[in-house]
Structure 1
Amino acid sequence: QDLGRDLDDSPILHVFASIGSNAARSSGPPSRTAGGSHLAEVVLDLAPIEDRPGWTSNRIASRWRELTGPVTDAVDLQFNADSFSAGDPISLQIRGRDVEELKRAALHLRQELAQFPGVLDLSDSFRAGKQELQLNIKPEAKSLGLTLTDLARQVRQAFYGEEAQRIQRGTDDVRVMVRYPKAERESLGNLENMRIRSPNGTEVPFSAVASVIQGNSYSSINRENQQRVVSVRGDIDRSVMAPEALIPAIQQIICQDASSFSSVDNSCRNDLFPGVRYRLGGEQLERSKVTSSLGKNVLLALLIIFALLAVPLKSYLQPLIIMSVIPFGAVGAIVGHYIMGWNLIFFSLLGIIALSGVVVNASLVLVDFINRQRADGVPLFDAVTNAGVVRFRPIILTSVTTFVGLIPLMTNEDPETFMFIPMAISLAFGVLFSTVITLFLVPSLYLMQNDYLKFIGLGANHTEASNAPLTAAAVNLTADGSAPIKA
């Protein structure tokens, strides 16, 4: 209700609540909680973003979290704003055989992660069930021939009942259950005072053969590769910290010994809980898979760029000169993140990859102009100098206009577009930085290429062949006594 008053109720279309189980709903994100009488879920169906200006889903979740505050006796409380994602921003799996050690390791990990700013809604997959009485058989019972199964069966018969017969009443079967009277089934004292039958028919007091411990069972125990698995999950306020910036800290917590890290499944162990292994998962695992796939595709893209440049230029060295600015574009992207105060994240990498196909434009313009000048008979050094002078203005204007066009996206404060800001920073600063480098690097490399070709015996022949027609014309005209033509 408080949240509705803050939002003026307009952004909220529907409110769905379930207590005890997950009722099916036709729309909205799938439930993140398992069924159970001790669980509850409230889901808000929001209006489209254009109908709730200023109220993004993350902001609504944050405001809801503030208004709710701590809930007394709540074991787990989560506020999720993303309907569909690659996984939780923080997700780790803890695997082992000892349930108690897994529980302690999960608690320790949650306590360590809670110390980082921006970390929210930490939880683990340990779900305590309802309170129960756990029966433990004493050694004295074994001498009487009693087993834990015998003990459990007799306690069940006394308090739940044993079916004695069924009576047909019309179309219904009525079960007749034999058990203790209701007054003798309402306290723990009744259990401790009951008598247990031994296999030989004698009856002994319950307290003589068994003990009772009051506790909670686990509602579910997940397994993977025959090992128990506990998942620790959490959310991150991206306006405070990027998920990628937390990974080194998490690895330092879970991998005290770097030699224990396994690159096969991204898992490791530490000395604090030697019986368990930690494994990064969720959003980070999915992104690492995507990053690995991107690495292969980037190499293929660079190879295609090289081929597209080599065919029209008819050279294997000039495409390398043109593509030499790509690493400097990546440097510019990194510097841009530092200037803007952003951490390098996955979307920054996507921007750098897109940058690879953009920064070669200025280099291509310079190399093409130099080639045209040389084809017209201009000396090499003059051709390189003319390229820098003539193409300086269009190259600078193109880069500056690209940078200015990306400024609105880089300075946008809407959380819904936060993921695009690192991409814009990579593109804007990468283009700007690489352009400045291009004006100095490409001419220098072109001259070095010519020296290299001369060194291996190819450059001189190429130069003579390019200027041969003009030189011959000059000689012939001079021999006839006409005015010489200067090449």
Structure 2
Amino acid sequence: MENRLGISGRIAAGFQRNAITPLLALVLLLAGIFATLITPKEEEPQIDVTMANVLVPFPGASARDVEALVARPAEQVLSRIAGVEHVYTVSRPGMAVITVQFEVGVPNQTALVRLYDTVHSHADWLSPQLGVGTPLIKPKGIDDVPIVSFTFWTADIERAGFELQQVARATETELKRIPGTRDVATIGGPGHVIRVNMDTERMNAHGITAQDLRAALQLSNASQPAGSLVSGSREVLVQTGTYLESAEDVRKLVVGVEDRKPVFLRDVAEVSDGPDQPSQYVWFGTGAAAEQSGIAQQGLFPAVTLALSKKPGANAADVARAAMQRLDNLRGSVIPEGVEVTVTRNYGKTANDKANQLIGKLAFATAAVVALVFFALGRREAIIVGIAVSLTLAATLFASWAWGFTLNRVSLFALIFSIGILVDDAIVVVENIHRWHTLEPDTPLWQLIPKAVDEVGGPTILATFTVIAALLPMAFVTGLMGPYMSPIPINASMGMFISLVVAFVVTPWLAQKMLKNVDAHHHEGEDKMTRRLDGFFRRIMTPMLHAQRGARNRLMLWLGVLALIGASVALPVVQLVVMKMLPFDNKSEFQVVLDMPVGTPVEDTARVLNEIGAHLATVPEVTDWQSYAGTAAPINFNGLVRQYYLRSAPEQGDIQVNLVDKTARSRQSHEIAVSVREAVTEIARRNGGNAKVVEVPPGPPVMSPIVAEIYGPDYDGQVEVAKRVREAFESTADIVGVDDTVDEAAPKLVLRVDQPKAARMGVAQADIVEVVRLGLSGENVTPVHGGDNKYEIPVRIQLPAVRQSEVGNLLAMQVRARDGKLIAISELVQVAETRREQILYRKDLLPVVYVTGDMGGKLDSPLYGMFDIRDKVNGMALDGAPGLYGTLGEWFISQPDDPYAGYQLKWDGEWQITYETFRDMGAAYAVGLVLIYLLVVAQFRSYLVPLIIMAPIPLTIIGVMPGHALFGAQFTATSMIGMIALAGIIVRNSILLVDFVNQQVAEGMAFGEALIRAAAVRAKPIGLTALAAMIGAIFILDDPIFNGLALSLIFGIFVSTVLTLVVIPVLYYAAMRGRIARLQNPEENSA
């Protein structure tokens, strides 16, 4: 018998009574348990997203000089690095920031080695005579995103930010000892400093300049081992000099001599030891739902935030849990009474909760599929399928860990989505064993099982590989979206292959054990169902299975199917189905980003932020919020890509808003964010600022959902064009959060040195510049020593804060001439009023101005907003301003070929990532179809039959689009993944039908009868596998992101399965009836 069996039958025969089979099953189970326990849990997949900022100081240089002498040469050098995707530069007075963004997937270490090597090996791009500082490289990656943040706050105003900062910094040291921690940093607080507030009048009276104070501090804070003295039999070490160790030491420092008497520093300046002048503010506010988070006090309190990130590969849940426990242990010791600590971020907990929730869904989905088999085939058959699926999942979890995936939302959703297709092989094999056992109750199981497995083995192998062929090409999607979603095709493909092995190896052994003492159902029971299905399909298909009389009926069927496909495709065109990259997730946080006019003091920024916060506190779902003025909140993945960590100017700030758990509220986070947007933007607008409500993106983030990049031959012209494009943004309905990179005009004073006069008086311009800088900006001239401070305590010389508001106080400072005389700055300079320079931006070697926005309203999809704006700017006439001419050009995919030919706009943002993702997914879909075709050709040795088998693939659109319209869901990237998966899933049905027809025809059955018989007999396994896939998809239907995937599977499988059972037999008849007739009647043909 075994000699006549195919490979699947031989495998089943070899393992059905083999003692090693249960041991293999045990190994798979233990491997799955091991993987579940050891695989790190994270909320999002780990992606190699490496970027680095190269900071190049150029003190005193204008933005134009910085761009011309630093930014341009730097970007030309850095853009040549292998693996670099984009190079962005920002040129501001005195500083160039070059951001190097590597392609997704380039390993972090490899990228940074290339960057450091290039920067240091091309140091000669900067002339040493320019006065440009040494480039500083600050790399950033996904592991720099804090997973936990603790906000320290107090109701005791006396303590305020300085003491909170000291407590947080003491806590840093303790948390850093936790295994797996990477960076622990405190945000907020004024810093500890010994301030030397210069008294200009007293300094002038004693003949002391700011430069004298700086030199005295630097030269007096010196100590060195001088060697040793040998006296008798003892060596004595000699140390020369002592360090400054306290503010009192600074006060007693001699800074000059007058009338042979020493002048002490306390004689010419006020020395204080304590908090620095605040350059940033952090506040903690409570919301309407504060009590639900255990926050007893209500109000607004000074605060600092401590953010903790983890090392690569560390388990976020374990690190976060250990940090929480360590912090609790520090209360009452390092953290004193009266200092409250609120957990304002815990991605470890959310990752663990999400993983546990999805593992629970995985279990329920498995149980639901087993229940389906129980009702369809029986209790023992359901147990066999349940064990097979459990072993498949266990082995897949182990394979996922071995591949390097973590347990995150995407990898677990991949398994839940796969449940329905992982069970297919087991269901088909068990159902056929069940059918054979029913038809041949007297045949021993050890003889029957290999034949039953062999009958469906060929099509099952082919069907499994067609699903893999459809899914696997998606693993090669580029950009951020590819690696982000890669667990789906890879885990599902590995799971499909494992399920095939389990179906042929373990399932026959289980059937041998579970069914050997069971009386088979009588043939009549099986025949009754078959007769019903036979009668049903006979009534439907017989009118179409006649060569001549059925032609009209077949034509009507084809026209009806084409009409349904056309109507389904039209749904997105008429906007009954909205296209979007990804829908918003239901998070427990969102952010408000505030930009005040350039030159706004940090105190005013903090005031506006807290005014916005007061409104947010009235929102029922808000538990707490933290405002950050002059600094950035702990970044998330979105902030990493958008570089929010660089937002440290006085006019910049943001608010981190935390919501109650999603289980405790009826509104999703997106609804809440939309509801506050109008009030938040109005408060900012009323105070002269611009506020944007920023949600955590559901997938890979971009600079902004809608981005217009303006290129052209002249930067001033680009700025003017950007202003007009912004007007188009603002005048378009439902466009919100409009902003640009054009700085508003802000005042600037230039102290122009009278060169001839300064030369006559023997004063160098550099000395004048130095004195003014010391008075206004100050300088940390030297640190104090001693103590156990983790951070340096600098000694800073500066004018008092109250004397920094008037230029006259600067002009009263004196500078020493070459002959030793003191000359007031006012005698050497002229004060000129001007405006601050525009910050200059470049992208990929071209100057650019950005205009950004987002889409609100009913459609809530940036793509539609972008095309609405496009209607206004496409071909826009550029006139009415000097230097502007022609019309505005437009680009979608790449930068303009000739940006200097005229002013041109390039669309970016979500459009770019959507285009790249759907382009690559479309290519993956096409590759999958080609692979499926090749596999089917190899199996059936025909070029026509594979086309018939693949015919149901277009039928999936009839279910997918109406399903999205019915639920009011957007068609997203996950919906596309579902459609790609459907190509492989639905072909399985066709293969089972066609293979059965060929078997029946080979046994002599009439072609038409074989088609009806195939539909009747294979309807049950096809229906079971379809229901199993739909049941698996039901469990991800409630997830905002993967809702589209679920809808594609549920409705696509349902509609295409129903149509396949009729369309494929009829199509097979229409295409093959002549060939089959010639094969069945060779004598007639020869005659």
- TM-score normalised per structure 2: 0.33
1:85 to 700, 703, 708: 700
| Shift in alpha-carbon separation, 1:162–1:21, aligned structure 2, 3 A | closer
Cα distance in 1 for partners of 2:742, 2:632 equals: 19
Q: Which residue identity does 2:1042 align to in structure 1?
A: F
The answer on 1:462 being equivalent to 2:1079 is yes
Q: Which residue identity does 1:427 align to in structure 2?
A: L
Partner residue, 1:233? 852
| Shift in alpha-carbon separation, 1:260–1:91, aligned structure 2, 3 A | closer
Partner residue, 1:287? 914
1:419 to 1029, 1036, 1041: 1041
Residues 330-377 of structure 1 deviation map (CA, whole Å, 9 limit, x = unaligned): 243223333333443333322211221122233223212211211221
Residues 226-278 of structure 1 deviation map (CA, whole Å, 9 limit, x = unaligned): 54212222334487422333343244344339995556516699xxxx94221
Q: Tell whether the 8 Å contact from 2:737 to 2:853 is kept in structure 1 after alignment.
A: yes
The answer on 1:70 being equivalent to 2:70 is no
| Shift in alpha-carbon separation, 1:379–1:134, aligned structure 2, 3 A | farther
Cα distance in 2 for partners of 1:382, 1:106 equals: 71
| Shift in alpha-carbon separation, 1:129–1:112, aligned structure 2, 3 A | closer
Residues 167-205 of structure 1 deviation map (CA, whole Å, 9 limit, x = unaligned): xxxx9xx99xxxxx9999559xx9xxxxxxxxxxxxxxx
Q: Tell whether the 8 Å contact from 2:840 to 2:847 is kept in structure 1 after alignment.
A: yes
Q: Tell whether the 8 Å contact from 1:359 to 1:434 is kept in structure 2 after alignment.
A: yes
Partner residue, 1:107? 723
Shift of 1:402: 5.0
| Shift in alpha-carbon separation, 1:184–1:404, aligned structure 2, 3 A | closer
| Shift in alpha-carbon separation, 1:41–1:160, aligned structure 2, 3 A | same
**Paired residue secondary structure (1:36):** coil
Partner residue, 1:357? 984
Alignment RMSD:
5.2
Q: How does 1:322-471 map to 2 (within 5 A)?
A: 322-392=949-1019, 395=1022, 399=1026, 402-403=1029-1030, 406=1033, 410=1037, 412=1038, 417-451=1039-1073, 454=1075, 459=1076, 462-464=1079-1081
Cα distance in 1 for partners of 2:998, 2:943 equals: 14
Shift of 1:115: 4.8
1:58 to 652, 656, 670: 670
Cα distance in 2 for partners of 1:387, 1:230 equals: 64
Q: Which residue identity does 1:131 align to in structure 2?
A: P
Partner residue, 1:122? 738
Partner residue, 2:861? 242
Q: How does 1:247-326 map to 2 (within 5 A)?
A: 247-256=866-875, 261-262=890-891, 265=894, 275-326=902-953
**Paired residue secondary structure (1:13):** strand
Residues 84-120 of structure 1 deviation map (CA, whole Å, 9 limit, x = unaligned): 7331322221222444443343333334334555543
Partner residue, 1:217? 837
| Shift in alpha-carbon separation, 1:39–1:370, aligned structure 2, 3 A | same
Cα distance in 2 for partners of 1:227, 1:337 equals: 42
Partner residue, 1:147? none
| Shift in alpha-carbon separation, 1:376–1:426, aligned structure 2, 3 A | same
**Paired residue secondary structure (1:442):** helix
Shift of 1:445: 2.1
Which deviates the most, 313-322 or 350-359? 313-322
Cα distance in 2 for partners of 1:43, 1:63 equals: 16
**Paired residue secondary structure (2:343):** strand
Cα distance in 2 for partners of 1:241, 1:353 equals: 25
Cα distance in 1 for partners of 2:832, 2:988 equals: 79
Cα distance in 1 for partners of 2:888, 2:773 equals: 57
Partner residue, 1:131? 747
**Paired residue secondary structure (1:418):** coil
Q: Tell whether the 8 Å contact from 2:953 to 2:983 is kept in structure 1 after alignment.
A: yes
1:19 to 621, 629, 635: 629
Partner residue, 1:38? 651
Q: How does 1:159-174 map to 2 (within 5 A)?
A: 160=772
| Shift in alpha-carbon separation, 1:113–1:397, aligned structure 2, 3 A | farther
**Paired residue secondary structure (2:689):** coil
| Shift in alpha-carbon separation, 1:117–1:371, aligned structure 2, 3 A | farther
**Paired residue secondary structure (1:419):** coil
Cα distance in 1 for partners of 2:1026, 2:1062 equals: 15
Q: Which residue identity does 2:747 align to in structure 1?
A: Q
Q: Tell whether the 8 Å contact from 2:638 to 2:696 is kept in structure 1 after alignment.
A: no
Cα distance in 2 for partners of 1:129, 1:238 equals: 32
Cα distance in 2 for partners of 1:8, 1:55 equals: 19
Q: Which residue identity does 1:441 align to in structure 2?
A: V
Shift of 1:401: 6.5
Q: Which residue identity does 1:463 align to in structure 2?
A: Q
Structure 2 unaligned spans of 5+: 1-283, 295-341, 345-624, 753-764, 776-783, 785-795, 798-802, 812-829, 877-886
| Shift in alpha-carbon separation, 1:184–1:128, aligned structure 2, 3 A | closer
Number of residue pairs matched? 419
| Shift in alpha-carbon separation, 1:126–1:13, aligned structure 2, 3 A | farther
Shift of 1:395: 4.2
Q: Which residue identity does 2:973 align to in structure 1?
A: F
Cα distance in 2 for partners of 1:342, 1:23 equals: 33
Cα distance in 2 for partners of 1:214, 1:375 equals: 93
Shift of 1:212: 6.6
Cα distance in 2 for partners of 1:460, 1:346 equals: 46
Partner residue, 1:5? 288
Residues 3-49 of structure 1 deviation map (CA, whole Å, 9 limit, x = unaligned): 61245462973355432244888999546263212222233467875
Residues 269-311 of structure 1 deviation map (CA, whole Å, 9 limit, x = unaligned): 9xxxx94221122232123222222233222222222233333
Q: Which residue identity does 1:120 align to in structure 2?
A: V
Q: Tell whether the 8 Å contact from 1:97 to 1:227 is kept in structure 2 after alignment.
A: no
Shift of 1:424: 2.3
Partner residue, 1:480? none
Cα distance in 1 for partners of 2:805, 2:1002 equals: 109
Q: Which residue identity does 1:80 align to in structure 2?
A: V
Partner residue, 2:27? none
Q: Tell whether the 8 Å contact from 1:86 to 1:286 is kept in structure 2 after alignment.
A: no
Cα distance in 2 for partners of 1:26, 1:365 equals: 48
Shift of 1:221: 1.2
Q: Which residue identity does 1:38 align to in structure 2?
A: E
Which deviates the most, 423-432 or 17-26? 17-26
